[in-house]
Amino acid sequence: MIARAKRTIQRDLDYYQESVNQLIIRNEEVLLTRYENNFNKYANNIGTSWTRNLSEFQSYQICTIIDREKEMKLLHYARVLARAFYSLGYNIDKDVVVRFRDKRITLKGRPYKSYMGIIDWYKALGLFFALRDRAGIDLLMGAPRSAFENSALQHKELHFRILRVVQNIYNPSVAKHMMGYIQEALEATDPTLNMYDVDKGSTNFVLYIREPLIRVWMAALMNKEDYFNEQLEDALLLHKKYYSVGDRCEESDGWVSWRLLAPTIFAHDSGININIESEYIPKWLVEGDFSGVEKWLEWEI
C-alpha cells in the first residue's frame, strides 16, 4: 500500500465533514435549481461549481469516517456540472442540450477561460473514468486545441503532445502511430528542448508528475500486466515524493491523483489485474465497486 504523504498540519476533520454536508445540501437545494432555471445569470460560476465538488471529495478522503453515499453524491454533482461546462465550452455559439436536474434544456455554447486548461481537463477525465461515463470521456477526447489555447492557463508543446496521446487512446486510425506519439511526448519532457516553461518548480512537476503519467499510459496501451504495475508503482511513488515537499503535503489536489486514476481504470477495464494499491487511487473507484450506490450512476442527458 502506497499511503499518502504525511501531513504536517493538524486538521480539524469535523470541518471537512461539515463542509461536505453543506456542499451537498447547497447542490441539491440551490445550485442545480439556479443553473436549470436561470443559467445565463450564473453561467460564469459553473467551472467553480464542478471543481469545488471534486475538491471536497479530495478533502473528504483524509477523514476517519467516510460515507460512500456522500462520496458518490460529490462525484455525481461534479460529473453533472462538468459535462455541462465542457459541452458548452467546446461548442461556442452552438445549441447544446444539458441537464442539471430532471429536465433537459438547450443553451448556447460559450467561451470559457477559467478551468479550461489541461490541469482541470485531467481531473475531469479521471472523474469520468471513475464513474465509467463514456459520454463524458468522449466529450473530453474531442476537446479542440483552441479550447486549451484560449484558456487562462498557458500551454506549451509538451502539453499538446501528451494530449495527442491521451485523446487518441480509443482511435484505431492512429494506433500504428501511437508509440511514436508517446516517444515524442517523452522527448518533450527534456528541459533542454524548451517545450515547457523551464524553472525549478516546472521541471520537478514534469519529471515527477507528467513524465510518469506518459509512461503509465504507454504501459496501459501495451496491455502488459507486469509492466503496467511497475510503471504505476513508480508513478505513485514519484507523485508521493512530489507532494511530500514543503506545504505540498497539505494540498488536497495531491491527496487523489485523477491523472493516474484515468489510465489505471482504463487498464483495469481492459483486463489488466491491478496489484498496486494506494490511497492516491481509491481502490473502489479503480475496480468500479459501486455496491449500494449504483443509483448515482444512472444518469444521462
Residues in the chain: 301
Joined together, the cell numbers standing for residue 192 give 533542454
pLDDT at 291 over 80: yes
- Determine the pLDDT at residue 261: 98
Report d(CA 162, CA 186) in Å as an integer.
8
Enter the DSSP assignment of 207: I
List pLDDT tens digits, range 112-155: 999 999 999 999 999 999 999 999 999 999 999 999 999 988 88
Report d(CA 188, CA 216) in Å as an integer.
16
CA angle 74, 76, 79 (to 5 degrees): 110
Q: What average pLDDT does this structure show over 195-209?
A: 86
Joined together, the cell numbers standing for residue 209 give 508528475
- Determine the pLDDT at residue 155: 85
**Kind and range of the H or E element at 105?**
strand 104-108
List pLDDT tens digits, range 180-189: 999 999 999 9
Joined together, the cell numbers standing for residue 187 give 522527448
| Helix spans in 142-282 (H) | 145-149, 157-166, 178-187, 200-205, 211-222, 225-242, 258-269
Question: Percent of the chain, pLDDT > 90?
Answer: 85
pLDDT at 301 over 80: no
Band of pLDDT at residue 199, cut at 50, 70 and 90: confident
- pTM score: 0.96
